[in-house]
A and B are shown apart, each in its own frame.
Chain A
Amino acid sequence: MYRILFFLALIFVPVTFGWWLFIPLALLAVYLIKLPYEIVLAGFLLDLFYYFGQGFWQGHTFTIFTLILIALALFLNQKIHWRKVI
Protein backbone atom coordinates (compact mmCIF):
# COMPACT_ATOMS: atom_id res chain seq x y z
CA MET A 1 0.00 0.00 0.00
CA TYR A 2 2.76 2.47 0.98
CA ARG A 3 4.58 1.46 -2.15
CA ILE A 4 1.59 2.47 -4.30
CA LEU A 5 1.25 5.77 -2.43
CA PHE A 6 4.94 6.49 -2.94
CA PHE A 7 4.58 5.72 -6.64
CA LEU A 8 1.68 8.20 -6.94
CA ALA A 9 3.66 10.81 -4.99
CA LEU A 10 6.60 10.20 -7.33
CA ILE A 11 4.41 11.25 -10.26
CA PHE A 12 2.22 13.99 -8.83
CA VAL A 13 4.57 15.83 -6.44
CA PRO A 14 7.00 16.84 -9.24
CA VAL A 15 4.06 17.86 -11.48
CA THR A 16 2.57 20.06 -8.75
CA PHE A 17 5.66 21.59 -7.16
CA GLY A 18 8.54 21.30 -9.63
CA TRP A 19 9.99 18.84 -12.14
CA TRP A 20 13.36 18.61 -10.31
CA LEU A 21 11.67 16.98 -7.28
CA PHE A 22 11.51 13.76 -9.28
CA ILE A 23 15.28 13.29 -8.89
CA PRO A 24 15.43 13.30 -5.03
CA LEU A 25 12.16 11.32 -4.85
CA ALA A 26 13.50 8.63 -7.19
CA LEU A 27 16.69 8.40 -5.12
CA LEU A 28 14.59 8.16 -1.98
CA ALA A 29 12.52 5.40 -3.60
CA VAL A 30 15.67 3.40 -4.28
CA TYR A 31 16.71 3.86 -0.65
CA LEU A 32 13.33 2.95 0.87
CA ILE A 33 12.01 0.28 -1.49
CA LYS A 34 13.77 -2.91 -2.44
CA LEU A 35 14.13 -2.91 -6.24
CA PRO A 36 11.61 -0.14 -7.04
CA TYR A 37 10.85 -0.92 -10.70
CA GLU A 38 7.92 1.46 -10.70
CA ILE A 39 10.22 4.51 -10.84
CA VAL A 40 10.90 3.62 -14.51
CA LEU A 41 7.18 3.94 -15.27
CA ALA A 42 6.98 7.24 -13.41
CA GLY A 43 10.05 8.54 -15.28
CA PHE A 44 8.58 7.46 -18.60
CA LEU A 45 5.24 9.17 -17.91
CA LEU A 46 6.97 12.40 -16.92
CA ASP A 47 9.12 12.23 -20.07
CA LEU A 48 5.93 12.12 -22.14
CA PHE A 49 4.85 15.33 -20.47
CA TYR A 50 7.96 17.51 -20.00
CA TYR A 51 10.13 19.01 -22.72
CA PHE A 52 13.90 19.09 -22.19
CA GLY A 53 15.00 19.38 -25.83
CA GLN A 54 14.84 17.73 -29.23
CA GLY A 55 17.49 14.99 -28.97
CA PHE A 56 17.12 11.38 -27.81
CA TRP A 57 18.79 11.96 -24.42
CA GLN A 58 16.72 15.10 -23.77
CA GLY A 59 13.54 13.34 -24.90
CA HIS A 60 14.02 10.45 -22.47
CA THR A 61 15.85 12.16 -19.60
CA PHE A 62 13.88 10.68 -16.71
CA THR A 63 13.53 7.22 -18.29
CA ILE A 64 17.30 6.96 -18.74
CA PHE A 65 17.92 8.32 -15.24
CA THR A 66 15.56 5.76 -13.65
CA LEU A 67 16.94 2.90 -15.76
CA ILE A 68 20.45 3.74 -14.51
CA LEU A 69 19.11 3.87 -10.95
CA ILE A 70 17.36 0.51 -11.25
CA ALA A 71 20.43 -1.09 -12.84
CA LEU A 72 22.49 0.16 -9.88
CA ALA A 73 19.85 -1.14 -7.49
CA LEU A 74 19.97 -4.57 -9.16
CA PHE A 75 23.74 -4.62 -8.87
CA LEU A 76 23.70 -3.48 -5.24
CA ASN A 77 20.98 -5.99 -4.42
CA GLN A 78 23.53 -8.79 -4.91
CA LYS A 79 26.23 -7.02 -2.88
CA ILE A 80 24.60 -5.50 0.17
CA HIS A 81 21.86 -6.35 2.60
CA TRP A 82 18.83 -4.36 1.45
CA ARG A 83 16.40 -3.43 4.16
CA LYS A 84 12.90 -3.02 2.80
CA VAL A 85 11.43 -0.01 4.61
CA ILE A 86 8.15 0.38 2.72
Chain B
Amino acid sequence: MIFQIKHNNQRFFGRSFLKIFLVSLLILVFVLVFTVFDFSKTLVANLFSPFLKSGNYIYQTIGQIPSFFSDKIELIKKNDALLNEVENNSINLIEYEVVKNENKKLREDLKIKPIGKLISASVISKFPQIPMDSLFVDRGTVDGLIEGDSVLAGERILVGKIVKISKNSSIVALNSFVDVISYGVVSRTSESIEIKGVGGGNIEAKVPFDFDIVVGDKIIVGGSSDYLVAIVGVVEEDRSAGFKKVLMSLPVYISKINTVFILGVNTD
Protein backbone atom coordinates (compact mmCIF):
# COMPACT_ATOMS: atom_id res chain seq x y z
CA MET B 1 0.00 0.00 0.00
CA ILE B 2 1.35 3.41 -0.95
CA PHE B 3 0.48 6.55 1.02
CA GLN B 4 0.86 9.91 -0.58
CA ILE B 5 1.47 12.80 1.77
CA LYS B 6 -0.49 15.79 0.55
CA HIS B 7 1.23 19.10 1.14
CA ASN B 8 -0.86 21.60 3.12
CA ASN B 9 -0.46 25.05 1.67
CA GLN B 10 -2.00 26.86 4.64
CA ARG B 11 0.30 29.51 6.11
CA PHE B 12 -0.06 31.17 9.51
CA PHE B 13 0.48 34.67 8.10
CA GLY B 14 -1.95 34.07 5.24
CA ARG B 15 -4.78 36.20 3.90
CA SER B 16 -7.17 35.46 6.76
CA PHE B 17 -4.59 36.51 9.35
CA LEU B 18 -3.99 39.76 7.48
CA LYS B 19 -7.74 40.40 7.33
CA ILE B 20 -8.15 39.79 11.09
CA PHE B 21 -5.14 41.99 11.82
CA LEU B 22 -6.46 44.88 9.70
CA VAL B 23 -9.94 44.72 11.24
CA SER B 24 -8.47 44.61 14.78
CA LEU B 25 -6.27 47.59 13.93
CA LEU B 26 -9.25 49.57 12.65
CA ILE B 27 -11.24 48.80 15.81
CA LEU B 28 -8.25 49.82 17.95
CA VAL B 29 -7.89 53.14 16.11
CA PHE B 30 -11.62 53.81 16.49
CA VAL B 31 -11.53 53.02 20.22
CA LEU B 32 -8.44 55.21 20.76
CA VAL B 33 -9.91 58.17 18.89
CA PHE B 34 -13.15 57.96 20.83
CA THR B 35 -11.40 57.51 24.19
CA VAL B 36 -8.91 60.35 23.78
CA PHE B 37 -11.27 63.05 22.51
CA ASP B 38 -13.84 64.44 24.94
CA PHE B 39 -16.42 65.22 22.26
CA SER B 40 -17.16 61.49 21.89
CA LYS B 41 -19.47 61.36 24.94
CA THR B 42 -21.48 64.33 23.64
CA LEU B 43 -21.64 62.86 20.16
CA VAL B 44 -22.88 59.49 21.41
CA ALA B 45 -25.37 61.11 23.82
CA ASN B 46 -26.76 63.36 21.06
CA LEU B 47 -27.03 60.41 18.70
CA PHE B 48 -28.88 58.25 21.23
CA SER B 49 -31.13 60.94 22.71
CA PRO B 50 -34.01 60.67 20.16
CA PHE B 51 -34.06 56.89 20.53
CA LEU B 52 -34.16 57.20 24.32
CA LYS B 53 -37.05 59.65 24.10
CA SER B 54 -39.03 57.41 21.74
CA GLY B 55 -38.34 54.38 23.97
CA ASN B 56 -39.52 56.33 27.01
CA TYR B 57 -42.68 57.34 25.15
CA ILE B 58 -43.37 53.70 24.20
CA TYR B 59 -42.95 52.52 27.81
CA GLN B 60 -45.21 55.32 29.09
CA THR B 61 -47.90 54.45 26.52
CA ILE B 62 -47.73 50.75 27.43
CA GLY B 63 -48.05 51.71 31.12
CA GLN B 64 -51.28 53.59 30.40
CA ILE B 65 -53.05 50.69 28.63
CA PRO B 66 -54.68 49.19 31.80
CA SER B 67 -56.31 52.57 32.59
CA PHE B 68 -58.42 52.32 29.39
CA PHE B 69 -60.20 49.28 30.81
CA SER B 70 -61.06 50.75 34.25
CA ASP B 71 -64.54 50.62 35.74
CA LYS B 72 -66.49 53.93 35.52
CA ILE B 73 -67.64 53.93 39.19
CA GLU B 74 -64.08 53.26 40.26
CA LEU B 75 -62.91 56.19 38.12
CA ILE B 76 -65.47 58.55 39.72
CA LYS B 77 -64.27 57.50 43.19
CA LYS B 78 -60.67 57.99 42.14
CA ASN B 79 -61.51 61.42 40.70
CA ASP B 80 -63.14 62.50 44.00
CA ALA B 81 -60.11 61.32 45.95
CA LEU B 82 -57.79 63.20 43.61
CA LEU B 83 -59.86 66.41 43.89
CA ASN B 84 -59.62 66.20 47.70
CA GLU B 85 -55.88 65.63 47.40
CA VAL B 86 -55.49 68.68 45.13
CA GLU B 87 -57.41 70.79 47.68
CA ASN B 88 -55.17 69.58 50.53
CA ASN B 89 -52.05 70.10 48.43
CA SER B 90 -52.95 73.72 47.63
CA ILE B 91 -53.40 74.43 51.37
CA ASN B 92 -50.07 72.69 52.10
CA LEU B 93 -48.39 74.71 49.35
CA ILE B 94 -49.48 78.02 50.89
CA GLU B 95 -48.18 76.88 54.30
CA TYR B 96 -44.97 75.72 52.68
CA GLU B 97 -44.39 79.07 50.99
CA VAL B 98 -44.83 80.84 54.34
CA VAL B 99 -42.33 78.51 56.05
CA LYS B 100 -39.93 78.87 53.11
CA ASN B 101 -39.93 82.67 53.33
CA GLU B 102 -39.46 82.48 57.09
CA ASN B 103 -36.53 80.10 56.59
CA LYS B 104 -34.96 82.43 54.01
CA LYS B 105 -35.22 85.41 56.39
CA LEU B 106 -33.73 83.39 59.26
CA ARG B 107 -30.86 82.26 57.03
CA GLU B 108 -30.14 85.87 56.09
CA ASP B 109 -30.28 86.96 59.76
CA LEU B 110 -27.97 84.13 60.87
CA LYS B 111 -25.69 84.66 57.83
CA ILE B 112 -25.92 81.00 56.77
CA LYS B 113 -24.85 80.15 53.22
CA PRO B 114 -27.90 80.46 50.96
CA ILE B 115 -29.33 77.39 49.30
CA GLY B 116 -27.71 76.96 45.88
CA LYS B 117 -29.63 77.65 42.71
CA LEU B 118 -31.64 74.68 41.54
CA ILE B 119 -31.79 73.77 37.87
CA SER B 120 -34.74 71.72 36.76
CA ALA B 121 -34.04 68.84 34.38
CA SER B 122 -36.35 66.49 32.54
CA VAL B 123 -35.80 62.78 32.93
CA ILE B 124 -35.34 61.45 29.40
CA SER B 125 -35.05 57.82 30.34
CA LYS B 126 -34.90 55.48 33.29
CA PHE B 127 -35.00 51.73 33.94
CA PRO B 128 -35.53 49.46 31.93
CA GLN B 129 -34.01 51.55 29.12
CA ILE B 130 -30.84 52.27 31.08
CA PRO B 131 -29.34 50.31 34.02
CA MET B 132 -31.30 50.23 37.25
CA ASP B 133 -30.82 53.07 39.77
CA SER B 134 -29.69 55.57 37.17
CA LEU B 135 -31.44 58.39 35.32
CA PHE B 136 -30.66 60.11 32.04
CA VAL B 137 -31.43 63.84 32.22
CA ASP B 138 -31.37 66.64 29.66
CA ARG B 139 -28.87 69.01 31.31
CA GLY B 140 -25.12 69.05 30.89
CA THR B 141 -21.95 71.10 30.95
CA VAL B 142 -23.64 73.87 28.92
CA ASP B 143 -25.84 74.57 31.96
CA GLY B 144 -22.80 74.85 34.22
CA LEU B 145 -23.10 71.38 35.71
CA ILE B 146 -20.16 69.20 36.67
CA GLU B 147 -19.72 65.59 37.75
CA GLY B 148 -20.64 65.16 41.39
CA ASP B 149 -23.44 67.75 41.47
CA SER B 150 -26.31 66.72 43.75
CA VAL B 151 -29.65 65.75 42.24
CA LEU B 152 -32.87 66.42 44.14
CA ALA B 153 -36.37 65.07 43.59
CA GLY B 154 -37.92 67.92 45.55
CA GLU B 155 -36.49 70.85 47.40
CA ARG B 156 -35.41 68.65 50.31
CA ILE B 157 -35.08 65.15 48.85
CA LEU B 158 -31.62 64.15 47.67
CA VAL B 159 -31.79 61.21 45.27
CA GLY B 160 -28.31 60.99 43.76
CA LYS B 161 -25.36 62.56 42.00
CA ILE B 162 -24.25 63.24 38.45
CA VAL B 163 -21.71 60.60 37.45
CA LYS B 164 -21.36 60.99 33.69
CA ILE B 165 -21.78 64.27 31.89
CA SER B 166 -21.73 65.49 28.32
CA LYS B 167 -22.49 68.85 26.70
CA ASN B 168 -26.28 68.77 27.10
CA SER B 169 -27.13 65.58 28.96
CA SER B 170 -25.96 63.65 31.97
CA ILE B 171 -26.39 60.39 33.83
CA VAL B 172 -27.43 60.42 37.48
CA ALA B 173 -26.51 57.53 39.81
CA LEU B 174 -29.13 57.28 42.54
CA ASN B 175 -28.17 56.78 46.18
CA SER B 176 -29.40 53.20 45.80
CA PHE B 177 -26.92 52.45 42.97
CA VAL B 178 -24.76 49.44 43.85
CA ASP B 179 -21.80 50.34 46.11
CA VAL B 180 -22.63 54.07 46.31
CA ILE B 181 -21.76 55.09 49.86
CA SER B 182 -23.32 58.12 51.57
CA TYR B 183 -22.87 59.47 55.08
CA GLY B 184 -25.84 60.85 56.95
CA VAL B 185 -27.53 61.10 60.32
CA VAL B 186 -30.70 59.61 61.74
CA SER B 187 -33.01 62.63 62.02
CA ARG B 188 -34.66 61.42 65.27
CA THR B 189 -31.45 60.77 67.25
CA SER B 190 -28.81 62.74 65.26
CA GLU B 191 -26.55 59.67 65.28
CA SER B 192 -24.20 59.27 62.31
CA ILE B 193 -24.71 56.39 59.92
CA GLU B 194 -22.99 55.08 56.77
CA ILE B 195 -25.43 53.91 54.12
CA LYS B 196 -24.64 51.86 51.02
CA GLY B 197 -26.68 51.37 47.87
CA VAL B 198 -27.48 47.77 47.03
CA GLY B 199 -29.45 48.26 43.82
CA GLY B 200 -33.13 48.07 42.97
CA GLY B 201 -34.00 51.24 44.88
CA ASN B 202 -32.68 49.72 48.12
CA ILE B 203 -30.12 51.06 50.56
CA GLU B 204 -28.48 49.12 53.37
CA ALA B 205 -26.57 49.88 56.57
CA LYS B 206 -24.87 47.71 59.17
CA VAL B 207 -24.90 49.24 62.64
CA PRO B 208 -23.92 48.06 66.15
CA PHE B 209 -26.57 46.18 68.09
CA ASP B 210 -27.20 49.04 70.55
CA PHE B 211 -27.68 51.62 67.76
CA ASP B 212 -31.04 53.36 68.19
CA ILE B 213 -32.89 53.02 64.89
CA VAL B 214 -36.49 52.02 64.17
CA VAL B 215 -38.70 51.48 61.15
CA GLY B 216 -39.80 54.83 59.67
CA ASP B 217 -36.69 56.75 60.76
CA LYS B 218 -35.46 59.29 58.25
CA ILE B 219 -31.82 59.51 57.17
CA ILE B 220 -30.66 63.00 56.32
CA VAL B 221 -27.39 64.41 55.03
CA GLY B 222 -26.16 67.60 56.63
CA GLY B 223 -24.34 70.69 55.45
CA SER B 224 -25.71 74.18 55.11
CA SER B 225 -29.10 72.52 54.50
CA ASP B 226 -30.52 69.14 55.42
CA TYR B 227 -31.63 66.74 52.70
CA LEU B 228 -33.62 63.57 53.14
CA VAL B 229 -31.86 60.59 51.53
CA ALA B 230 -33.55 57.43 52.80
CA ILE B 231 -36.35 56.04 54.93
CA VAL B 232 -35.84 52.97 57.13
CA GLY B 233 -38.06 50.09 56.04
CA VAL B 234 -36.79 47.02 57.91
CA VAL B 235 -34.44 46.49 60.86
CA GLU B 236 -33.04 42.95 61.18
CA GLU B 237 -31.25 42.04 64.39
CA ASP B 238 -28.40 39.54 64.29
CA ARG B 239 -27.75 38.81 67.98
CA SER B 240 -24.95 36.31 67.36
CA ALA B 241 -22.94 38.81 65.27
CA GLY B 242 -23.89 41.80 67.44
CA PHE B 243 -25.09 43.86 64.52
CA LYS B 244 -28.29 45.26 63.12
CA LYS B 245 -28.92 45.19 59.40
CA VAL B 246 -30.95 48.23 58.37
CA LEU B 247 -32.78 48.11 55.06
CA MET B 248 -33.90 51.43 53.61
CA SER B 249 -35.57 52.74 50.51
CA LEU B 250 -35.37 55.97 48.55
CA PRO B 251 -37.85 58.60 49.83
CA VAL B 252 -39.56 58.86 46.42
CA TYR B 253 -40.89 56.42 43.86
CA ILE B 254 -38.34 56.91 41.07
CA SER B 255 -40.43 55.46 38.23
CA LYS B 256 -43.03 58.23 38.78
CA ILE B 257 -40.50 61.07 38.60
CA ASN B 258 -40.24 63.03 35.36
CA THR B 259 -38.44 66.13 36.61
CA VAL B 260 -35.45 66.45 38.93
CA PHE B 261 -33.57 69.46 40.31
CA ILE B 262 -29.82 69.74 40.13
CA LEU B 263 -28.01 71.64 42.82
CA GLY B 264 -25.11 72.95 40.80
CA VAL B 265 -21.91 74.34 42.27
CA ASN B 266 -21.29 76.64 39.30
CA THR B 267 -24.88 77.61 38.62
CA ASP B 268 -25.22 80.68 40.84
A residues near B (Cβ < 8 Å) are: 12, 15-20, 35, 37, 40-41, 44-45, 48-54, 63, 74
Q: Which of B27-35, B109-117, B207-215, B221-229 contacts A (4 or more CB under 8 A)?
A: B27-35
| Across-interface contacts of A45 in B (CB, < 8 A) | 34, 44
CB < 8 Å neighbour of A18 from B20, B54, B129, B177: B129
Contact present for B30 and A41 (CB under 8 Å): yes
B40 within 8 A of A: yes
Residues B44 and A48 in contact, CB atoms below 8 Å apart: yes
Cβ contacts under 8 Å, B173 to chain A:
51
Please indicate which of the listed interface residues A19, A44, A48 has the most CB atoms of chain B within 10 Å of its own CB.
A48
Say whether B233 faces chain A, with CB atoms less than 8 Å apart: no
Please tell me if B23 contacts chain A, counting CB pairs below 8 Å. Answer: yes
Contact A48:B129 (CB < 8 A) given known A15-B51, A41-B27? no
Q: List residues 169-200 of chain B with CB under 8 A from any CB of chain A.
A: 171, 173, 177-179
Across chains A and B, which 6 residue pairs bring their CB atoms closest together, nearest first? A16-B55, A18-B128, A15-B51, A16-B51, A51-B171, A48-B44
Q: Mark B90-132, 1 if CB is under 8 A from A, else 0.
A: 0000000000000000000000000000000000000011110
Contacts of A48 in B (CB 8 A): 34, 40-41, 44
For residue A22, give the distance in angstroms from its CB to the closest CB of chain B: 11
Given contacts A18-B129, A51-B173, contact A37 B23 (CB under 8 A): yes
Main secondary structure of the interface of B (DSSP, over half): helix
Residue on B nearest A17 in the bound complex, by CB: B55
CA distance A44 to B35 in the complex (A): 10
**Residue B45 at the A interface, CB < 8 A?**
yes
Q: For the complex, what is the distance from the CA of A74 to the CA of B21, rounded to whole Å?
A: 12
* B235: interface (CB < 8 Å): no
A49 touches B45 (CB 8 A): yes
For residue A17, give the distance in angstroms from its CB to the closest CB of chain B: 6
Q: Return A62 CB to nearest CB of chain B, in Å.
A: 11
Say whether A16 contacts B45, CB under 8 Å: no
- Docked-complex contact A15 and B129, CB < 8 angstroms: yes
Contact B131 A50 (CB under 8 A): yes
With A45-B44, A48-B41, A51-B131 as given contacts, are A16 and B54 in contact (CB-CB < 8 Å)?
yes
Instruction: Decide: B48 and A49 in contact? CB cutoff 8 A.
Output: yes
| A44 and B171 contact, Cβ closer than 8 Å, known pairs A49-B44, A50-B131, A51-B163 | no
